[in-house]
Structure 1
Amino acid sequence: MQFEHSPRLRAAYPDLVAGVVQAAGITATVDVAARTAAHLAQARRRLAGGAESGFPEIQAWRRAYAAMGLRPTRYRCAAEALLRRLRLDGELPRVHPLVDLCNAISAAYAIPVAALDLDRVDGDLVVRPAHGDEAYLSFAGDTEHPEPGEVTFVDSAGRAHARRWTNRQSGWSAVREGTSSVLIVAEALHPGGEPAVTRLVADLVTELTEGWSAPTATAVLTAAAPRFRTPAAADDDRGQAVSPGSR
């Protein structure tokens, strides 16, 4: 399995940096309450200094949404939506231990983090502008089609696993009770985002290792190293770490 952003998208957003973590052995029985609390405490400390809309990480996503013709105050990236909910409600909802952990880390770093059930992804996965014929399954069970040009995660079967670039994940590949193998993707658009994404990936690996004893493969993708392949597919691709827990 290969993951990458399309050349067109990278050309439009030259500051794009993505962290990728593949992990196996995920279950829904791990207690992550203490782990999520630590990351949410970090997010709260930052929110104490001002609303999330002023964070440079969020401002970069707002500019991207505006460039895509979306109203940033109507369509918020996943990280902004989580931070806003944390600021207004004081807590985030519990969904699944892995999702809860990813949400807490996303809030701590103000960087969108998506977790996909890898067994529900067909072939390769590319983040690209939609053609308009991709199939997206909502959480309500309805099939939708992204608007042409809308940025989405698309697999080899033409299935859309997100809409509006980190705004809305598909119900098809959402992590659920029976999920075992996952692909976690964190994306930053702000200038100089690579160090933050690198730390985020390291935090994810630590949590996955300590919580699930999960074997992992990781990468930090940039314009110079834009592609991730699962170790079984290719052990020597640039931009990929093939040893468990390494970068």
Structure 2
Amino acid sequence: MLSVESLQEILHAAHVEPAVFELQSDYQALLIAVDGLVPGPSDDASDALLNHAETAARTALSDQKVEHLPHVAAWRKAYQSFGAKPNRTRNSLEALLRRADAGLPRVNRLTDLYNAVSVVHQIPLGGEDLSSYSGAPRLIRATGQEPFDTVSSGEPTVEHPDEGEVVWCDDDGVTCRRWNWRQGRRTQLRDDTTSALFILDALAPVTTEDLLAAGEDLTTHLCLLGPEVVSAQRLIDAGTLQHWPLSHQPRQIS
């Protein structure tokens, strides 16, 4: 099992390249690394979280369209800045909000949890299997040569991002295309995931306080997924690139 110190070392090595901030100087990323999770299928607790998220989404969309929500609109503009078409490739938050009225997917309790937090706080949030990473997470403008392990027509395949596309990657290739559009197969959360990395992406008008509140909500619920869950987090922005490290020691759940 990884210690808090080991998780902090992984996050300390994470990097957002300057070219990304040249596109969006207001961009902030909150990275949360977690170990000690006890995997399991969707349950009553995760279903309750998703029910709450569905209600929150319906309330938010009662008098406006999805694309007019401030943070969704900000991400649609950001996608256009590197050549993506937001009507064709929707960021993960917008995609979830558009499904909320008919019902959010029930996958497993870890995926259900982070999808619910994403919708409630209206922040794109991705979850990755940390044990499948090769090196540290990095957010870059792609050269177009990086491999992206995905599925097409039901079959595993390797694609490549467009040149200049904003992608999350590690030493072995792209882990998430178009900033927060589609996650790769290699690092996806699995039913047996015990160690995970979560990435919360924010643009104005979302504030640092809003972003940290979403991270705290996520971490609080993650700590209920095992008696020995440990976590660490790091906030990265254009001004300082690193804020204070925050961590959670194991909690005994009564």
Q: Structures share a fold, TM > 0.5?
A: yes
Partner residue, 2:245: 240
C-alpha separation in 2, matches of 1:243 and 1:101: 18
2:167 paired with 1:152: yes
Post-superposition offset of 1:190: 2.0
2:89 paired with 1:75: yes
SS at match of 2:224: helix
> 1:130, 1:150 within 8 Å by CA — same for their partners in 2?
yes
Partner residue, 1:12: 23
2:230 paired with 1:215: yes
Match of 2:183 among 169, 174, 193: 169
C-alpha separation in 1, matches of 2:63 and 2:114: 23
Match of 2:132 among 105, 117, 120: 120
SS at match of 2:223: helix
What is the RMSD computed on CA atoms of the aligned residues? 1.8
Partner residue, 2:145: 133
Post-superposition offset of 1:243: 4.7
Q: Give the alignment's TM-score, normalised by structure 1.
A: 0.87
Post-superposition offset of 1:72: 1.4
What are structure 1's unaligned runs of at least 5 residues? 228-237
Letter in 2 for 1:244: Q
Match of 2:215 among 175, 189, 201: 201
> 1:15, 1:191 within 8 Å by CA — same for their partners in 2?
no
Q: Over residues 171-194 of structure 1, what are the superposed CA-to-partner deviations in whole Å (9 max), with x where a residue is unaligned? A: 110000121110000101123431
C-alpha separation in 1, matches of 2:54 and 2:219: 18
C-alpha separation in 2, matches of 1:27 and 1:212: 5
Post-superposition offset of 1:222: 2.1
Q: Give the alignment's TM-score, normalised by structure 2.
A: 0.85
C-alpha separation in 2, matches of 1:201 and 1:18: 11
> 2:38, 2:225 within 8 Å by CA — same for their partners in 1?
no
Partner residue, 1:23: 34
> 2:83, 2:165 within 8 Å by CA — same for their partners in 1?
no
> 1:40, 1:105 within 8 Å by CA — same for their partners in 2?
no
> 1:118, 1:182 within 8 Å by CA — same for their partners in 2?
yes
Q: Over residues 145-176 of structure 1, what are the superposed CA-to-partner deviations in whole Å (9 max), with x where a residue is unaligned? A: 1121111111123x110111111110110000
CA pair 225-180 structure 1, distance change in 2 beyond 3 A? farther
Q: How many residues align?
A: 232
2:122 paired with 1:107: no
> 2:106, 2:112 within 8 Å by CA — same for their partners in 1?
yes
Match of 1:95 among 92, 99, 107: 107
SS at match of 1:80: helix
C-alpha separation in 2, matches of 1:18 and 1:47: 26
SS at match of 2:67: helix
SS at match of 1:64: helix
Q: Over residues 105-143 of structure 1, what are the superposed CA-to-partner deviations in whole Å (9 max), with x where a residue is unaligned? A: 111122110001011110111111111221111134111
> 2:23, 2:81 within 8 Å by CA — same for their partners in 1?
no
